[in-house]
Chain A
C-alpha cells in the first residue's frame, strides 16, 4: 500500500496529507510513493529519527529546504555521462550548495536523522572562482582561451553599438568558438562530476526525507499528536483518541471534539449506540490512526499502542455502484465478503465495518451480523464493527456510546455487558426538529 493509494480512504487521511507543510515537490513525491511500513524495526527506526528531530530547532533547515528542487532527471543524466548544459550544471551546483548548508546546520545541532555526504568537491568544481553564490556559467577561469575569446567579443560588440558586416561575421565566428569551448569545458566538468552522481542522488533523497520529517514534527506540535508505540501481535489501545479532521471542523463551528478511549485485540469488537453518537467517527479515527502510525506520522491520541497490520480494510457501506449494477446491499455484502476471505487466508488485516447489513430488514440483518461474528470469531489484526442490531453473541467485546445524558450527547465509549441497543432514535429525531405530527404518530406506534 503506497501513501497515494490510501488517500482516498474516507477517514481523514487526505486531511492529514493536505495539512502537512512540505517545502519541496520532491518531498511530496517521495511521500506519495512511500510504502506503508509493516515491520516493527522499520517503524521504530523511523520514529526514533522523528523523535530526535522533534526536540531540535529546525527553522533554519526548513528555510534551506524551501529552495530544494526535484532534479533527479538531471542526476540520472549525469550518471549516464551525458554532457549537461548550463541549466543542469546550475541545478547540480545549487543542490550541492543547499546540501552543504544543511549539512553544517545538522552538524551544529548534532542531528543524525539523515546523513549527508560532504559535497565540497562538487561545489569547488562548479565554483572555480570561490564566489560561493548560487549561480552558474562556464566561467572565464576554466580556460584562458575562453577568456580571450570573450574579451575579443566584448571588444567588437561594445555596448550594442551599430556594427558593420565584417564585424558581424567576426562576432559570429567568435560566438561559435565560444560555444565550442564551453562544450569542451562542460564535457570535462561532467567527467569530474560523474563519480558524485550516486552521492547527489542520495543527497536529494535525504533532503526530501528531512523535509517530510520536519513537516511531520510541525504537524505533531500543531495538532497535538503523539508518538505511538508499535508492536506485533499486541493489544491496540488509544487513550483520548481524536479525529483531527472532525476536530478542526467542530472547532471552526465553536464546538469541541470529545476524545474517546478504546482497546481491542483479536476478539471482535462491536460498538453500539444512538444515532449521531459518533460510532462512524470512531471507525474512521481507528482507520486514520492506523495509517498514521504505519506511515510514520504523529498519531491522534494522548497516548497509544498500535498493533502492526499489513492492510486496512474499511467497509463504510456506501459503495452503491450503479455502473456495476450493484445495489448498496450487494456492494456491501461483497466488500464484507472480501474481508472474510482475507482473514480466512490468514492475512494480517485490520477490519473496520460500519453497520453491516443495515440496508436490509432487521430480522435478516441481525442474523447476518450474528453469522459474521461467528464466522470470524478471532482476527489477529482486529475486527471492529458498529451496529444498531441487538447482537446476542457473548464472545465479543462490546462498547456503547454513552449517548444522551440530560438531553446532551456524550460521545464517550463505555464497555457494555449486553448487546441491548439504546432506544434513542425518536428522541434524537425530535431534537433535529422534524415534523411534530410524524414524531407523535411514531410514539403512538411504539406504545402499541
Chain B
C-alpha cells in the first residue's frame, strides 16, 4: 500500500472518531410514534406508525371483567427511565384507564395487533412505590387471522395499578416490547442472504436461457460450421500463431507510421506486397461512405 493512500484511511478514522459524542447529539427522537385513538364499541384502537416502519398499524385494547374508559399515549422524557431503551418499544407506551366490576376486583386486559410477533412482550411498571420497568407477564397468544394478543390480568390496587389503591379505578402504563437488536440483526442477516438468493435465481435463469440460446444458435448455423471436425481444418486457424499476428500488426503499424502509404497513394506505385495493397484499398473504401453526401441522414 502506498503512502499516498493513507489519507483515505486517516479521513475515515477522523470522521468516525466523534461517534460517542454524536450519540448524545442525536437527542431528537424523529421516529417516535404518534398514536391516534378511536373507539369501536367497548374497544379502544390506537393507529400509529411504529419505529422502523413506513406504514400504519393498529393496536386494539379490550377489557374483560371491567370497562376500558380511556386510552392515551404516555410520553416519557428521554432520561425519565434510564433502565429502558425506548427504541425497543417500537409501538410506543400507553396509559389505559379501566373500571373493574367492583373496587379491588380484577380486570383482564387484551392488547391485540397484527404487528406483534410471538416474541413481543408487554412491559410495564410492576411496583408502585419503587417502579421497576419489566415484563408484566402478559400471555402471548397467536390468533390465526388477527395477529398476536397479549393478555394481562390487573388487580385494582395491585402492583400493576399505577395509583396503587383499590379505589375502583385501574390505571395501567405499559408498552409492547420487541428485542431491537434481535430484530435488526435477524432481519438483516436474512435480507443479506436474500440478495444472494435473488441474484442466484437470476443466475440460474440466465444459465438456462443461455444454454437454450446457444443450442438455437448452433442449430441455425450451416452444417459445415456445426461439425468442424469433419471438415479439413482451415489453414488460418492453426497456422497463424498469436506472435505472428502481433508481428504483422507491428509491421503494418510501422509502415503506416513511417508514411509508407503516402507515396504509393500519390504516385500509384506499389510500396508493399499485394496483400497490404488490398488492405489499404479496403480501408479507403470503408472511409468513402463518410463522404458520400446523398447517403447522409
Q: Do the two chains bind?
A: no
Residues of A within 8 A of B (CB): none
